[in-house]
Amino acid sequence: MNVELPLWFLQSLPKRWRSFLPGHGQMSFGPMKLNDVCVLTPAWFGAFATLFLVLLTIEASESCSAGVAAGMIMAVIPAHMMRSSAGEYDNEAVAVTCFCATFWLWCRSIRTPRSWPWGVLAGLAYFSAAATWGGYIFVNNLIGLHAAVLVALGRYNSGLYLAYTLWYVVGTSGAMLVPVIGWAPLRAMEQMPSLLVFIVFQLLQVCDFVRHRVKSFASPWKFCVFRAAVFATAVLSGAAVCFTLYRLGHFAPLGARIRGLFLKHKKTGNPLVDSVAEHSATSSQAYAQYLGDARFVAAVGLLFCWHQQTPAKIFPVIYAAVAYHFSAKMSRLMIICGPIVSMLAGYPIGIVLDWCLHQFLNLCCAPRPQPEVKTEPRSGGMGSIYRFLWRYLEPLTLPGEVSDLLKTAEKLHQRFPRPCRAIRCTVAILILVAGYQNMRDPVNSFIATCEEIAPHMGHPSIVFKSRQGLITDYLDGYKWLKANTPADARVMAWWDYGYQITGIGNRTSIADGNTWNHEHIATLGRTLTNPEKKAHNIMKHLADYVLVWAGGQGDDMGKSPHLARIANSVFPDVCGEDDPTCRKFGFYAGGRPTEMMAASFLYKAVRHNIDDGVRLDSKLFQEVHTTKHGLMRIFKVLGVSEESKKWVADPANRKCDAEGSWYCVGQYPPALHKLIAKRKNFAQLEDFNRKDGEKSAYTRMVPSQLLWHVATRVKDTMYTLIICERSIGVLIYCVFSASCTLQLYWPNDSS
């Protein structure tokens, strides 16, 4: 079905605008292939993420112009395009949309005490975020932190209680239905803060309920003492319950990825997590590339977050602080900086523009003054404490001279309204002209940078340009695999290439990016890093071909130490318990391989017939294809065990959805049972259901390094405090000396 927009509508648009419309104004609708749906899903959800961010910005800033400006920045900022470009199909492509929707619905639910029903929708959006990506913990803790800060600022009310309770109950109940999550919201340490806030809210509401029933608690101070007693009792009881549950093994330490947010990324305790480049710390160049100059405007936007009336006004500040900390520790989390930077960058643009337009409207028709609606302040809480302190702090923060100046200006405006409005219009014109002249070039530069980066975001990672032209080695290699191997061929390669082998080469891969079974990936790592003969003894039972990346550009040689570490975490005899980081498997200074590296299948396959004396045994492996530039090499496994191949192909031997497991654990041919018996279950600290797992040497290495890391932080803090204390002492001494000198030499009658 073809649909063409009306001609009069197209003619009314500027000339360049038509090129941005789908089909240049002529759209067609029809059946789509599943592959096309997957390709376009990131772009679709990226558009919805921008829409939800516009709504979130309007809700928090109370400015429609700020929302529009934030949406325009969000649409082009590289931090958002990195997962919203067509073809970038990944969990985050959908997750960011769910995150923005959850944040908007949460802020909407606390706008007024009567807005709490929106908390149900916020919980449903949170459930969708949890079902999409493991980064839902960021949403979990951010909303819990925001609710806690509102209580600390004295903004607690029945509406906030109902909104948070509904969000937590609906969202957590839904999240627990996701097999990957299960009971984690009630057991994982990283999700305890939001649970603690939920419990505190229930206690606050119980205290309010008692206050309305018992007249003696009408006094704010009596109620404050009563609530302190309730919380003291709850803390003691909760401590006893938590200690009992801890002794019973109910709680678990922080997960590997969460620990990586507080430690150096190579020290999470999970070598598989540490092997992923996106889990490394973020460089300053990455911030410049993915956020551009918008990050500087966003920093200015933090100054515009304090005059609004909505409780959501503090949310962007908290979001910015948490997002910066997390993204600095893990480059993959740069994606969560895109929405908040776009949001805050829209603040100064939209709010200043609104103020300028407001002055022009006031010059024509000023709105009638609205009477102030005074509400009785809540007593007996943090608000009472702040009001009590404000009596003494207000003269210090707002001197009498400044207060008198503001009152005089207000009187002048009331007495001479039209001249004051004309002056404000003049100021508004000057601001708009100066803003246009100073922002035009930076804005054009930012847009040009984004347009320059955008094609690289949309390009497939297996095709790239170099000085030699367009390099298609990886794509050509997978196409060769599809055209020149049997349809039932099994291809062994490192798990990074599993999706590409399946999606482009249309062949069975041994492991891919969705392989949650750590032991299986470790078995694959052992096979590839084993000596040639031992590797063949395993491969002939699992694969028909072996594929390696070569050429020195992110090839398997660069990743090989990670393969050995992962293998050693399950097979301690690979590198030994005394070498958890597998220093034996690497290169000496100058590029000469270690003895273990030189003997490995992986090294010989990558350097086959390239280095002198390096080649695979022709009786075990046959080189069948090497791409034009040598970036991919494919070898045929000779002497494949037909018995094992038939055993694996038999549906009766497939083991999936095993009891106590939510993923397909699978099983190996009987010929490999002796090898599999050597494996030790990798007891990740976040694996609740495993009681038989013994921590690997790599995992045991983390607590001591964590202790050293904490001790170093404490030592640095103590040094800082000592320096500050001494500096303050010197300052006091200097002030005291100066005052004594003035008293000695200054005339007595001077003030």
pLDDT digits (tens, 9 = 90+) for 221-232: 777 777 788 888
Judgement on whether residues 579 and 708 belong to the same structural domain of the protein:
no
599, 532 Cβ separation under 8 angstroms:
yes
| Domain-ending residue, one of 671, 695, 719 | 695
Cα separations in angstroms, 329 against 143, 263, 264: 21, 8, 8
Output the pLDDT for position 398: 66
Q: Which helix (H) or strand (E) holds 567?
A: helix 556-570
The 10s digit of each residue's pLDDT in 505-552 is 999 999 887 766 788 888 999 999 999 999 999 999 999 999 999 987
Q: How far apart are CA 265 and CA 180, in angstroms?
A: 23
Least confident of 42-46, 143-147, 680-684: 680-684
- 374 in a domain, yes or no? no
Q: What's the count of helices (H) and strands (E) in the chain, helices before strands? A: 30, 9
For tokens 């790592």, what's the residue? Answer: 525
Output the pLDDT for position 528: 93
Burial of 154 from C-beta contacts in 10 A (0-12 / 13-18 / 19+): middle
Q: What value does the mean pLDDT take over residues 254-273?
A: 58
Q: Confidence class of residue 690 from pLDDT cuts 50, 70 and 90? A: very low
Judgement on whether residues 496 and 630 belong to the same structural domain of the protein:
yes
- 54 in a domain, yes or no? yes
Judgement on whether residues 709 and 664 belong to the same structural domain of the protein:
no
Least confident of 510-514, 619-623, 709-713: 709-713
> What does pLDDT average to over the chain?
81
Strand order in the sheet with 621-626: 508-509, 490-492, 545-549, 632-637, 621-626
Judgement on whether residues 417 and 492 belong to the same structural domain of the protein:
no
Q: Which residues of 386-411 are buried (b: 16+ CB within 10 A; e: fewer)?
A: eeeeeeeeeeeeeeeeeeeeeeeeee
Residue 71 has pLDDT above 50, yes or no: yes
- 273 in a domain, yes or no? yes
Output the pLDDT for position 742: 35
Judgement on whether residues 609 and 524 belong to the same structural domain of the protein:
yes
- 385 in a domain, yes or no? no
Output the pLDDT for position 730: 47
Burial of 586 from C-beta contacts in 10 A (0-12 / 13-18 / 19+): middle
Output the pLDDT for position 67: 95
Q: Confidence class of residue 154 from pLDDT cuts 50, 70 and 90? A: confident
Residue 620 has pLDDT above 50, yes or no: yes
Residue 367 has pLDDT above 70, yes or no: no
Judgement on whether residues 424 and 475 belong to the same structural domain of the protein:
no
Angle, vertex CA 261, rays to CA 449 and CA 90, nearest 5: 55
Output the pLDDT for position 686: 42
Residue 24 has pLDDT above 80, yes or no: no
Output the pLDDT for position 246: 79
Judgement on whether residues 301 and 349 belong to the same structural domain of the protein:
yes
Least confident of 1-15, 218-232, 294-308, 388-402: 388-402
* CATH number of the domain encompassing residue 683: 3.40.50.12610
Output the pLDDT for position 661: 57
Judgement on whether residues 425 and 570 belong to the same structural domain of the protein:
no
Q: Is the model more confident about 463 or about 494?
A: 494
Judgement on whether residues 570 and 707 belong to the same structural domain of the protein:
no
- Amino acid code (one letter) for 316: P
The 10s digit of each residue's pLDDT in 372-395 is 666 666 655 666 666 667 676 767
Angle, vertex CA 706, rays to CA 704 and CA 707, nearest 5: 65
Burial of 260 from C-beta contacts in 10 A (0-12 / 13-18 / 19+): buried
- 380 in a domain, yes or no? no
Nearest to 140 by CA among 276, 258, 299, 282: 258
Least confident of 253-262, 447-456, 669-678: 253-262
Output the pLDDT for position 689: 40
- Amino acid code (one letter) for 85: S
Write out the residue range of the structural domain in which residue 645 sits.
469-695
Residue 554 has pLDDT above 80, yes or no: no
DSSP per residue over 270-330, as a string? Answer: -HHHHT-GGGSPPPHHHHHHHHTTHHHHHHHHGGGSSS-SSGGGGHHHHHHHHHHHHHHH-
Q: Confidence class of residue 708 from pLDDT cuts 50, 70 and 90? A: very low
Output the pLDDT for position 697: 60
Output the pLDDT for position 52: 96
Judgement on whether residues 524 and 612 belong to the same structural domain of the protein:
yes
Nearest to 566 by CA among 547, 555, 587, 580: 580
Residue 553 has pLDDT above 50, yes or no: yes
Output the pLDDT for position 279: 62
Cα separations in angstroms, 222 against 96, 226, 341, 431: 46, 6, 45, 53
Start-to-end Cα distance in the chain: 89
Output the pLDDT for position 604: 93
Output the pLDDT for position 180: 80
27, 10 Cβ separation under 8 angstroms:
no
Q: What value does the mean pLDDT take over residues 709-730?
A: 49
Judgement on whether residues 438 and 579 belong to the same structural domain of the protein:
no
Residue 207 has pLDDT above 50, yes or no: yes
Output the pLDDT for position 394: 67
The 10s digit of each residue's pLDDT in 184-205 is 888 888 888 999 999 999 998 8
The 10s digit of each residue's pLDDT in 112-127 is 999 999 999 999 999 9
Q: Confidence class of residue 745 from pLDDT cuts 50, 70 and 90? A: very low
Give the pairing type, strands 490-492 and 508-509.
parallel
Q: How many Å separate Cα 57 from the centre of its chain?
A: 19
**pTM (2 decimals)?**
0.78
| Domain-ending residue, one of 672, 695, 718 | 695
Question: SS3 breakdown of the chain: % helix, strand, coil, rounded to 5?
Answer: 65, 5, 30
Going 426 to 432 to 435 to 437, the CA torsion angle's sign is negative
Q: How far apart are CA 659 and CA 677, in angstroms?
A: 20
Going 498 to 503 to 504 to 507, the CA torsion angle's sign is positive
- 378 in a domain, yes or no? no
Judgement on whether residues 444 and 324 belong to the same structural domain of the protein:
no
Output the pLDDT for position 451: 87
Q: Kindly give the interhelix angle for 118-132 and 136-152, rounded to the nearest 10 degrees.
A: 150
Instruction: Say how many domains are in the chain.
Output: 5
- 302 in a domain, yes or no? yes
- 13 in a domain, yes or no? yes
| Domain-ending residue, one of 432, 458, 484 | 458
Percent of the chain at pLDDT exceeding 70: 78
Q: What value does the mean pLDDT take over residues 145-153?
A: 92
Q: Is the model more confident about 545 or about 413?
A: 545
